Amino acid sequence: MGIGALLLAAGTVGRLYAGDDDNLVTRVSAVAGLALFALFAPLSSYVRAHHHAFGALAMLPLLIHTASMSYGSSLAQESAIINLTIFLVMCIIIDSNVWLRTQTAMWNLSYVGTAVAVTEPVTSPVTYVMVTCTISTFGAIIAANMHYAQAQLRNKIAELDESQGFARVGSWEWDAATQMPTWSKTAYDIFEYDPGEALPDRDTLFAQTEENAPFINAIDDFFTGGDRFDAIGQMTTRSGKTLWVHSKGMTLYEKGEPARKFGVFSDITEHVAREKALEVAREQAEAAAEARTQFLANMSHEIRTPMNGVIGMTSLLEQEKLPPEAKRFVDIIRGCGESLMATINDILDFTKLDAGKVVLESRVFNVGELLKKSTSVVQKTIDDKGLNLTISGNALDVDLQGDPLRLQQVLVNLLSNAAKFTETGGITIHADVTQATQNSRSLTLAVSDTGIGIPNEALEHLFSPFTQADASTTRQYGGTGLGLTISHQLVTQMQGSMEVTSEVNQGTRFTISLTLPYTGSRAADQTEQAIETSDVAQNLSILLAEDNPVNQTVALRMLKRLGIEPVVVDNGVEAVKEAQARPFDLVLMDLQMPQMDGLEATTKIRELTDISQPRIIALTANAMAEDRSRCIDAGMDDFLAKPVRMEDLRAAIAANT
């Protein structure tokens, strides 16, 4: 508005001084308008931001003047030159941009072409001036649009460069006709070169290492006919720094022929460094977990070895005719020993579960027999307290496939807790098949008691490690607080669930839900019980390989109680020699022995083709599940973990002879 007012004022002043000379009026108005515009335009930010519109407004008086001068005669060459010069000068004053100069030139050419073409106008001066200005204005609009489009393109390119720089993503384009690449500004920045500077050759740009060979090969394949590539590799900057980049490329075709290839690459050096740091941290964590597991396994072995003497000797003493007080002392010693072993087993199992090292077995078992084995472990405690024990359900005659030892461990833990926290009443085990398919069964095992119960506020933390209902529980009943955690984790690893409901002073119910492969049904028999209670066969020939003197004594005494006089050796080499020298029905083989361990000795014995192969039972303080697997893989037939009780040894011998 201000510029328009100035132009109007200039035109009025010009008319006052020019009188009736219209040419003088328009000339003075045009020159005054241009001068004022040139003077004030640089002072206005709005004018600088919208120079096209105001440039057109400033030029209109000059157009009107030259058009009126041209009416009736051809446009003088001098007028065209002066007009063009004024426009170009004005353009430079307003904006030195090349596209604005193009706009000015097009405006002039449109005007000049129109004026020259109409040398003898047949229309009125007003119509002639309007036509000339209209055509000229159209030319200016076209040029302005071209300028605007180019400006938008430059802005987008600048935004793209800023975005690429922020994200450390470079781009490139390769022209098939010129065989020349074009790199983005960020690409130059990443490689530490100045924009437009020639980048080094392939062998310098790509890190020439064996590790980087797949990346280089992928790029070579792409440029020798490939359509796409996506690879991660290393590139080298001007300063010699190696960068990790993730690069992608694509080929564009024209008329079936490759015309251009273009692609992007991102600097992922920091990401790769973080990944490597995480990998190192993970390996260190795994090594630490492995070291911890190995340490506990070694500690377990070292503790089990003397505990085998303690529990084994008390097991032998229990069978002696002792005075009542001495028998009570023996019971206390054995109870303390077994309690200590339970604690050691809990800590070891928790550590292995925490490290993800527990591997589940898969073999057929009978649900009813599993429940009998589980209850036999706590039967003495139940009997001593005068509690009732009930086993029921429709799954007692069902055979399923899973890990019976780990499932028994869970049941024994639940039954032990039930017996520990129940003073009157009883314990109930209910085993039901709730859903059946052709190849699987949904099994629900529920252990209920009438004990002290669990407060509601303690239920949500019940499966947390080292947690019991309250501090007084540990003081009164003992325990590590790991049993339920281990049980819950084992059931979860079996793809099952464990739930608990309880009411204080009314009792607790633990429910285990599992879906296991189904192998058939049979009537629950007394086979396992018969094995456990039967006497072993007489006149058995048994080889005992055991290097620890105390454990030798325990095993010898137990075997003599069973009516067996074994041959005793204290290392694997002697065990192999004895097996070669005479036939044996059974070998009790320790694992850790000098000169040759039990696994190697077993392998050597199994390689003997000229002997009657004996049954071999591992007799070891290595009580891990993988230890059992290693023994079976080496050719052993059974596994007996220390400390060994008399009844365990009897059952194992009976089952393997």
Render pLDDT for 499-519 as a digit per residue (tens, 0 to 9).
Answer: 999 988 899 999 999 999 887
Is the pLDDT score of 32 beyond 70?
no
H or E segment and range at residue 441? strand 440-449
Higher-pLDDT residue of 393, 483: 393
Q: Which amino acid is at 168?
A: R
Q: What is the signed CA dihedral for 227, 230, 231, 232, rounded to 10 degrees?
A: 150
Which residue has better confidence, 329 or 103?
Answer: 329
Name the pTM for this structure: 0.46
Q: How confident is the model at residue 574 (pLDDT cuts 50, 70, 90)?
A: very high
> Per mean pLDDT, which range of 167-176, 291-300, 373-382, 634-643 is the poorest?
291-300
Q: What is the pLDDT of residue 446?
A: 94
* Separation CA 305–CA 455 (nearest Å): 40
| pLDDT of 190 strictly over 90 | no
Lowest mean pLDDT among 88-97, 232-241, 509-518, 575-584: 88-97
The better pLDDT of the pair 134, 337 is held by 337
Alpha carbon distance 278, 234 (integer Å): 20
Using 50, 70 and 90 to split pLDDT, how confident is the model at 85?
low
Q: Are strands 507-521 and 440-449 parallel, antiparallel or unpaired?
A: antiparallel
Whether residue 322 is predicted with pLDDT greater than 50 in this model: the reply is: yes
Residues 110-146: b if buried by 16+ CB within 10 A, e if exposed = bbbebbeebeebeeeeeebbeebbebbbebbeebbee
Is the pLDDT at 155 greater than 70? The verdict is yes
* Structure-block tokens of residue 382: 């139940």
Rounded mean pLDDT, 258-274: 87
Lowest mean pLDDT among 365-379, 396-410, 430-444, 528-542: 528-542
Return the closest-CA partner of residue 377 out of 332, 344, 418, 333: 418
Question: Which stretch of DSSP H or E encloses residue 17?
Answer: helix 2-18
| Rounded-to-integer distance, Cα 143 and Cα 149, Å | 10
d(CA 20, CA 1): 28
Q: Which of 127-131, 146-150, 178-182, 266-270: highest mean pLDDT?
A: 266-270
350 and 341 in contact (C-beta within 8 Å)?
Answer: no
Of 76-80, 99-103, 170-174, 544-548, the poorest mean pLDDT is in 76-80
Q: What is the pLDDT of residue 25?
A: 46
What average pLDDT does this structure show over 610-625? 83
Helices (H), ranges, 362-403: 367-385
DSSP designation for 240: S
Q: Is the pLDDT of residue 636 over 70?
A: yes
Q: What does the pLDDT look like over 391-434, one tens digit per residue?
A: 999 989 889 998 888 888 889 889 988 998 899 999 999 999 98
> Of 272 and 522, which is predicted with more confidence?
272
Q: Examine the pLDDT at 171 and tell me if it is beyond 50.
A: yes
Cα–Cα nearest to 67, from 21, 33, 26: 26
Phi and psi, residue 570, nearest 5°: -120, 15
Which stretch of 426-440, 493-507, 592-606, 622-636 has the lowest confidence by average pLDDT? 622-636
Block residue for tokens 């890990």: 403
pLDDT at 152: 74
356 dihedral zone (left: phi>0; alpha: psi -120 to 50; beta): left
- Host H or E run for residue 173: strand 169-175
| Local structure of 266: helix, strand or coil | strand
DSSP run (H or E) holding 230: strand 228-236
Range in 198-207, 477-486, 524-533 with the lowest mean pLDDT:
524-533
| Cα–chain center distance at 279 | 12
Range ranked top by mean pLDDT from 34-43, 353-362, 460-469: 353-362
- Predicted local distance difference test score (pLDDT) of residue 72: 47
In this predicted structure, the answer to whether residue 50 has a pLDDT above a threshold of 60 is no
Contacts of 336 (CB under 8 A, 6+ apart): none
* Confidence band, pLDDT 50/70/90 cuts, at residue 290: confident
Contacts of 48 (CB under 8 A, 6+ apart): 41, 42, 94, 95
Q: Is the bond preceding residue 643 a cis peptide, omega within 30 degrees?
A: yes
Q: Please report which confidence band the pLDDT of residue 524 belongs to, taking 50, 70 and 90 as the band edges.
A: very low
- State the average pLDDT for the chain: 75
Do residues 551 and 642 lie in contact, with contact meaning Cβ atoms separated by under 8 Å?
Answer: yes
Q: Predicted confidence band at 533 (pLDDT cuts at 50, 70, 90)? A: very low
Q: Are 600 and 630 spatial neighbours (Cβ–Cβ below 8 Å)?
A: no
pLDDT of residue 314: 84
Question: Among residues 274, 247, 249, which one has the least CA distance to residue 190?
Answer: 247
Max mean pLDDT among 75-89, 152-166, 237-251, 455-469 falls in 237-251
Residue with tokens 């049954």: 615
Which of these, 27, 94, 17, lies nearest to 63 by C-alpha position? 27
DSSP track, 97-129: -HHHHHHHHHHHHHHHHHHHH-SS--S-HHHHH
The partner residues of 620 in beta bridges, in order of sequence, read: 641
Say what the pLDDT of residue 24 is. Answer: 46
